[in-house]
Amino acid sequence: MKTKTVVLISGSGSNLQALIDAQSNGETAISIESVISNRPGVLGLDRATKAGITTQVVDHTLFESREAFDIQLKATIDQYQPELVILAGFMRILTPAFTNHYAGRMLNIHPSLLPKYQGLHTHQRALDAGDDRHGVTVHFVTAELDGGPNIIQAVVPINTNDNAESLAKRVQQQEHIIYPMAAQWFAEGRLCMQGNDAVLDGSILPTSGFVMDARSQ
Ligand code: NHR
Ligand code: GAR
């Protein structure tokens, strides 16, 4: 049985595309039942439609509070009775009532080596700090923003001539590798959240998550 999955997006959906491709290549046992965007007209919705996946828009600008938006978003998601909810470039902070409802079955991909650089503008912040490495983390979503247990990280080098754009591009190549991997671990029943830990094959993962070092590629 495939793992019923709903993907939340806000934009271009390149991570969504990586998941769709993994699904159609038989590389993952998730089944994307619906793609939901908080922004109308984004490229990710077209990607879903092209793949024959149902789309929904829950436009956050039409709600008077975060709570009201989250209630509608939750009702929309739960129509599909998903076992897994994937945030793929989803850009709205979620309320604790929402994240608690999906505890242990909601993943996010964040473009930094968490716990470094929670929040926004991560590539520029890593450059400004003079870091020699950067990367991306897949983690379970909890009420704490970008603070849930880490599952997998990919590390990339920062080159002297990098700007935020060139660095983001290098990071995104890794995003498209590690997100389908994490989804597949979950679908195979190998990955779960226990308390504030991510557990893979029965062992608690380190704070960083499983680390893939892409600096020598
Ligand atoms: N919500 C909770 N409770 N916990 C997490 O770990 C979450 C979350 C919601 C989104 C993704 C996250 C990221 O990977 C994510 C993780 C948006 C913002 C933000 O500041 C911060 C982190 C993330 C996503 N959003 C602004 C807001 O006011 C809006 C920004 C915009 O629309 O461009 O919600 O980085
Ligand atoms: C990705 O790089 C993802 O890591 C980042 O936004 C991009 C979305 O790209 N996510 C966040 O910054 C979450 N706050 P995509 O729409 O092409 O997948």
**pLDDT tens digit sequence for 123-169:** 999 999 999 999 999 999 999 999 999 999 999 999 999 999 999 99
Among residues 76, 200, 26, which one has the least CA distance to residue 85? Answer: 76
Give the mean model confidence (pLDDT) for residues 182-191. 98
What per-residue confidence (pLDDT) applies to 217?
66
pLDDT surpassing 90 at residue 194: yes
Q: What is the mean pLDDT of the chain?
A: 97
Whole-number Å distance, alpha carbon 76 to ligand 2 midpoint, is 22
Q: Which residues line ligand 1 (CB under 6 A)?
A: 87, 90-94, 99, 108, 110, 119-120, 141, 143, 145-146, 148
Of the candidates 101, 110, 134, 176, the residue annotated as catalytic is 110
The answer to whether the bond into 111 is cis (omega within 30° of 0) is no
User: What are the structure tokens assigned to 13, written together?
Assistant: 């959906």
Give the mean model confidence (pLDDT) for residues 23-33. 95
Ligand 2 pocket mutation pick from 120, 152, 171, 172 by most atoms within 8 angstroms of CB: 172
What per-residue confidence (pLDDT) applies to 78?
98
What tens digit of pLDDT does each residue of 57-69 get?
Answer: 999 999 999 999 9
Instruction: Specify whether 134 is catalytic.
Output: no
What per-residue confidence (pLDDT) applies to 166?
98
pLDDT surpassing 90 at residue 216: no
Give the mean model confidence (pLDDT) for residues 171-197. 98
CA angle 105, 106, 112 (to 5 degrees): 135
Distance of alpha carbon 200 from alpha carbon 151, whole angstroms: 8
Whole-number Å distance, alpha carbon 4 to ligand 1 midpoint, is 24
What per-residue confidence (pLDDT) applies to 152?
98
What per-residue confidence (pLDDT) applies to 193?
98
Ligand 1 pocket mutation pick from 65, 92, 172, 178 by most atoms within 8 angstroms of CB: 92
What single letter denotes the amino acid at residue 102? Y
Place of tokens 């897994």: 84
Whole-number Å distance, alpha carbon 177 to ligand 2 midpoint, is 14
CA angle 192, 137, 88 (to 5 degrees): 85
| Domains of the chain, CATH where assigned | 1-102 (3.40.50.170), 109-217 (3.40.50.170)
Give the mean model confidence (pLDDT) for residues 27-50. 97
pTM, rounded to two decimals? 0.98
Nearest-CA residue for ligand 2 atom 1 is 89
Q: Which ligand is nearest to the CA of 172?
A: 2
Q: Is 10 left (phi over 0), alpha (psi -120 to 50) or beta?
A: alpha
Distance of alpha carbon 125 from alpha carbon 202, whole angstroms: 35
Among residues 88, 100, 62, 215, which one has the least CA distance to residue 153? Answer: 215
Give the model's confidence band at 44: pLDDT under 50 very low, under 70 low, under 90 confident, else very high.
very high
